[in-house]
A and B are shown apart, each in its own frame.
Chain A
Amino acid sequence: MDWVLAVSICQAAVTAGTPILFAALGEILAERAGVLNLGVEGMMLVGAVSGFLVTVRTGSPWLGLLGALVAGGLMALIHAALCVGLRANQVVSGLALTLFGTGLSGYLGKPVIGVPAPSTFRTVEVPVLADIPFLGPVVFGHDYLVYISYLLVPALWFFLYRTRPGLHMRAVGENPAAADAMGINVGWTRYIYTVAGGVLAGAGGAYLSLAYAPTWLENMTAGRGWIAVALVIFAGWNPLVALAGSYLFGGVDALGLRIQAVGTVVPSFFLSMLPYIFTILVLLVSTRGGRRLGAPGALGLAYDREGH
């Protein structure tokens, strides 16, 4: 493997990892507050189609991104209303949300199939920094959405572990009864972070339809929402690890294709399998001895003050 190839693989790992990263960060927010949302795939799809529709109508990818954020948030609001407001089963509601989002996005996207986007997020090299060998093209040779995701990761980490609202949110996810006793509004907290999670999933979808592809095709997420859900466990609900994990997931795909292009004979099926093996290994290690490292204590459980 030569140098150019290594740069190209790492660069592709970042691009391929970014949509997963956005969605995983969103899911971390929701799950940290105790709400398991399996509707990531659906929210990403609705985000992708909304972003594309708005961009086609207005000509501005930034307005498109805004549309995707709003659409993702609205989708998550359905989940929040069902699971937090009405205490429905979170798994069932999340799955329904994915099915709903798949159908809805296909329906909304009908008029813009085959329509080229008037404007998309293009690569903007960061001056000076992009000239650093290796790191330059890999880290600083991307579009604005990638740079936003860079900033988002430390910001979320700081918010989670170093601020009071972040502490409240984690308390709600760990032990809602105790948080309630402390005077934190459990319902509102869960509403807010579930919707915030949807907003980020929408951003992940917008990255696919406005920067990566950039076009709208039905079902274009092709399972990335589910990878994001797995990644959250892989990352132990930590934004920093999620960053590394999403580039790993993205990189393994890019690696598998590039190894073939160079002509080495490693079965591509084997390489596509690797990220999932990592996830299973992490699960095994982290649950040894009956402990669930990092998983919020009340994840997936509806909270009712009367206790039933």
Chain B
Amino acid sequence: MQRKILVAALVLLLCMALVGACTKPAQKPAEPAKPAEEPKEFNVGFIYVGPVGDAGWTWAHDQGRQYLEKNVPGVKTYFVESVPEGADCEREIRRLVEQSNCKVVFTTSFGFMDGTLNVAKEYPDRVFMHCSGYKMDKNMGNYFGRMYQPRYLSGIVAGKMTKSNKIGYVAAFSIPEVVRGINAFTLGVRSVNPKATVKVVWTNTWYDPAKEKEAAKSLLAVGCDVIAQHQDTPGPQQAAQEAGKYGVGYNSDMSSFAPKAHLTAPVWNWGPYYVRVVKAVMDGTWKPEAYWGGMADGIVDLAPFGPMVPDDVKKLVEDKKQEIISGKWDVFWGPIKDQSGKVRVAEGQKMTDQEMLSFDWFVEGVEGTIK
């Protein structure tokens, strides 16, 4: 009997240690930092799909959270990391509302969409913002960024830097978001180097550093000398560095992982948007919106270039960037041909957001299949 109690106590201890390690609020609620200056606290919550230490997607959102806390006085943030997608997330969202008294909750993965909507209906006086989905309500909006714009720019760099005219692309899943990125990147590559092709390898995972690295190695083995990626870890660039080739990152400036290979990276910059939303809610001016911001808003951008990128390439990218920001031109404006050479978007025609959000074909120059 004593033994059973001891076992139970030990298991309980393990569980508590686990919970303690996994779900930590960003700050302890019991310590108001400067009560004299900021009497009124405004709590904001974040739900992450991965660990903040992934150096990729979730890390970028967490940078945005820290930016928000630094730039809006009186805001206190809470976050829960590694929340599984699906119905489970509802409990965590509710916890942020009930226990941490969050006025605004950001849920940062596609799979949180329905859960966010359900909780939003329960708390009509709070605001919920869901990233990368499409559902809305009176107190729920969604937001995302036009990542394809900086991807096009990173394609220009890759197209200029390749010598073998073969560029590898390590991609997670064949969903429209990823296909759109590959297409934008390839259009960028071919705008400066029509002979170059982009070879795609699917890993069927968002997060497996070793497998992503292996995928990059397989591309290097068939002669690719620049490796781009749509994954959540820096594995592909590390493979490029080991082979003495170049890499284009994603999500955040991953240059520290592979300094010799790092050309640039299309990156997320959520901070200013989080500030804007939270300020609007504080002022009472917030309205539900479906936000898809581009480079003009700064929500997506290009990481600083590596030292090997020559000045004329930097200038080329900068010019194109200004064209995109000014609205004079965008990536998916015709003429665009598909893999078979058929014109899919005619000269003078522009793809609509709806068409871009359901991309299911590759542009000319991509080697690979959507399956």
Contact = CB atoms under 8 A, between A and B. Distances in A.
B202 A260 contact: yes
B218 A260 contact: yes
Nearest to B371: A267
Given A100-B18, A265-B371, A219 B222 contact: no
Contacts of A106: 21-22, 51, 53, 82
A16 B234 CA distance: 17
Interface string A250-274: 0001100110111101011100100
B171 to A, nearest CB: 10
A97 B18 CA distance: 10
Interface residues of B, number: 52
A213 B235 contact: yes
B217 interface: yes
B36 interface: no
A72 B222 CA distance: 38
B286 interface: no
A218 B204 contact: no
B199 A261 contact: yes
B204 A104 contact: no
A137 interface: no
Interface stretch (A57-65, A108-116, A172-180, A230-238): A108-116
Contacts of A102: 18
B76 interface: no
A16 B214 contact: yes
A257 B214 contact: yes
B53 A254 contact: no
Interface string B41-68: 0000000001101110001000000000
A147 B227 CA distance: 30
A215 B208 CA distance: 12
A114 B257 contact: yes
B210 A222 contact: yes
Interface string A209-243: 00011110111101010000000000000000000
Given A86-B6, A220-B209, A261-B199, A114 B21 contact: no
A116 B210 contact: no
Contacts of A213: 209-210, 213, 235, 238
B7 A86 contact: yes
A212 B53 contact: no
A260 B169 CA distance: 11
B79 to A, nearest CB: 14
Interface residues of A, number: 53
B252 to A, nearest CB: 9
A103 B23 CA distance: 9
A222 B231 CA distance: 14
Given A217-B54, A260-B201, A96 B218 contact: no
A249 to B, nearest CB: 12
A254 B238 CA distance: 17
Contact of B218 (A103, A109, A261, A267): A261
Contacts of B235: 213
Interface stretch (A4-12, A160-168, A188-196, A284-292): A4-12
Interface stretch (B9-17, B94-102, B273-281, B345-353): B9-17
A93 interface: yes
B368 A260 contact: yes
Given A261-B199, A261-B221, 13 more contacts: A81-B10, A86-B3, A88-B7, A92-B11, A93-B11, A96-B11, A104-B17, A109-B53, A213-B235, A217-B53, A222-B207, A257-B218, A260-B202
Shortest beta-carbon contacts, A-B, top 8: A103-B21, A218-B51, A222-B208, A107-B21, A258-B218, A113-B53, A103-B18, A261-B218
